[in-house]
Amino acid sequence: MLEIRPNCENCGKPLAYNVEDAMICSFECTFCKDCVENILHNVCPNCGGGFAQRPVRPKVYLEKYPPAQEQIYKPIDLEAFQILLERFRFRKPEER
């Protein structure tokens, strides 16, 4: 079951359980769509994977399976990230 993390790890933007601009990698690193498209270029800074839109948890399950409360905030070190970005930016996630 997904944690449904509450914020973008890079910019800190709140990402409620039902927003459509939350993006996750296969390890559930969570970023807003703006950061994924304009800063990360679909390369996860933590694992090198790609991103997909995070699914919305239906309201009927929120009480039994609430979204995570702990915020993860690790702004990208752009200089260090450039090395990973240069390596993976133009490769499809399945080819990384």
- Cα 34 to Cα 21: distance, rounded to the nearest angstrom: 8
- Cα 50 to Cα 25: distance, rounded to the nearest angstrom: 6
- Quick one: pLDDT band at residue 18, thresholds 50, 70, 90? very high
Sorted by where each begins, the domain ranges of the chain are 22-90
Percent of the chain residues topping a pLDDT of 90: 99
List the beta strands (DSSP E) in 28-77: 30-32, 52-53
CA nearest neighbour of 29 among 56, 51, 58: 51
* Tens-place pLDDT, residues 47-82: 999 999 999 999 999 999 999 999 999 999 999 999
Other CB atoms within a 10 A radius of the CB of residue 45 amount to 22
